[in-house]
């Protein structure tokens, strides 16, 4: 028996709705919830690494490991696999690869011998892969115009977000946005935030290393995304993760002449890059003063340990049977 026209029309609408849903991505809360939790935990760890708090970063990743186990279980759930359809196997493989990348990143963060650059590179890989997995489950609420950045930027970079509706089309309404710098960082210049009637969001990265939380509501949807600031480019010896604050500069010397610790001054530091340049000029002046025939010099730089770092200049001079040496140390300590 031929179905009535109204029934055929209803069936057609249902089929169309299913096609649109598949095109937009499968909405599977059982998978989306732990995936978002994992993304947030990894993002928090990145912000902690940028803030030079390795212990807090390690704790965040331990929590992320627990959430990731929940994600692995969720993607195996029969109901979730049915909702995902043909995407299920591909998503499972992507999550397995994500787990391998996460294991490497966690090992890098927990290894004190690894440089900040190596740790951030490993974490960025995890964060970017997680964003890609999330995009397969449905259109994000916001997407960055520079997709390859994965939210990582330099001071002064201009960032543009596009806001999307539930079907992936542009959300043409002015979004409600809040930007919060994390852990006292200056990752984003909050005053630069601007929202536009076409649904776009623009802002400018701040002057210091760290992370910022971007909270967006538009077209009936809300989300939170993180932005990360590598911090200013400085010479290789200067700590890239030095946070803004108040610093004490002291000087001491030992050898032919002994000079006890002497405080040269206390300085408020808002622009880390400018501070680095000023210190470079100071150290170069001292180094130049000892560049004389018969003298050899060596420079050693210590890493920033969360409270201080130092620059040590060693000079050894010889003239016939006579030799003298002197070691000068500059210590830069965060005091506020």
Q: What is the pLDDT along the chain (336 residues), one digit of tens a residue?
A: 444 454 444 434 333 333 333 333 445 778 899 999 999 999 999 999 988 788 999 999 999 999 999 999 999 999 888 888 888 899 999 999 999 999 999 999 999 888 888 999 999 999 999 999 998 888 889 999 876 889 999 999 999 999 999 999 999 999 999 999 998 788 999 999 999 999 999 999 998 889 999 999 999 999 999 999 998 777 777 887 777 789 999 999 998 889 999 999 998 987 777 788 788 888 777 777 777 777 888 888 888 888 899 999 888 888 778 888 889 999 999 998
Residues in a beta bridge with 311: 301, 330
Residues in a beta bridge with 213: 180, 226
With beta carbons less than 8 A apart as the criterion, state whether 182 and 210 touch: yes
CA 133, 135, 136: angle at the middle one, nearest 5? 70
Is the CATH number 3.10.310.30 carried by domain 139-231?
Answer: no
Cβ neighbours of residue 309 under 8 Å, at least 6 residues apart?
A: 239, 242, 301, 302, 303, 331, 332
Alpha-carbon distance of 157 to 144, in angstroms, equals 13
End-to-end CA distance of the chain: 83
Q: What is the pLDDT of residue 27?
A: 56
Alpha-carbon distance of 273 to 235, in angstroms, equals 10
Residues in a beta bridge with 170: 164
Q: What is the pLDDT of residue 238?
A: 82
Residue ranges covered by each domain of the chain: 1-135, 139-231, 245-334
The H or E element containing residue 274 is helix 272-289
Alpha-carbon distance of 34 to 102, in angstroms, equals 15
Helices assigned H by DSSP within 51-155: 54-76, 78-84, 87-110, 116-136
Q: What is the pLDDT of residue 232?
A: 79
């Amino acid at each position: 028996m031929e179905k009535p026209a109204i029934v055929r029309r209803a069936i057609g609408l249902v089929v169309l709705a299913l096609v649109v849903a598949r095109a937009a991505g499968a909405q599977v809360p059982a998978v989306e919830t732990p995936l978002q939790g994992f993304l947030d935990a990894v993002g928090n760890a990145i912000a902690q690494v940028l803030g030079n708090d390795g212990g807090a970063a390690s704790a965040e990743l331990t929590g992320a490991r627990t959430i990731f186990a929940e994600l692995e279980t969720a993607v195996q759930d029969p109901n979730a696999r049915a909702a995902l359809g043909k995407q299920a196997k591909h998503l499972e493989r992507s999550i397995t690869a994500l787990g391998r990348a996460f294991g490497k990143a966690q090992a890098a963060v927990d290894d004190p011998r690894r440089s900040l650059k190596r740790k951030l590179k490993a974490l960025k890989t995890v964060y970017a892969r997680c964003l890609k997995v999330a995009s397969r489950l449905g259109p994000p609420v916001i997407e960055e115009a520079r997709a390859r950045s994965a939210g990582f930027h330099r001071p002064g970079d201009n960032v543009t977000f596009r806001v999307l509706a539930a079907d992936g089309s542009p959300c043409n309404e002015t979004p409600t946005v809040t930007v919060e710098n994390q852990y006292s960082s200056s990752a984003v210049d909050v005053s630069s935030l601007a929202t536009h009637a076409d649904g776009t969001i623009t802002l400018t990265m701040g002057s210091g290393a760290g992370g910022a939380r971007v909270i967006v509501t538009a077209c009936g949807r809300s989300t939170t995304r993180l932005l990360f600031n590598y911090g200013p480019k400085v010479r290789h010896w200067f700590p890239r993760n030095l946070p803004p604050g108040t610093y004490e500069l002291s000087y001491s010397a030992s050898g032919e002449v002994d000079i006890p610790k002497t405080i040269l001054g206390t300085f408020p530091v808002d622009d880390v890059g400018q501070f680095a340049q000023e210190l470079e000029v100071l150290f170069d002046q001292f180094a130049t003063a000892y560049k004389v025939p018969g003298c050899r010099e060596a420079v050693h730089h210590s890493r920033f340990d969360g409270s201080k770092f130092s620059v040590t200049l060693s000079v050894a001079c010889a003239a016939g049977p006579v030799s003298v040496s002197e070691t000068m140390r500059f210590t830069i300590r965060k005091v506020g």
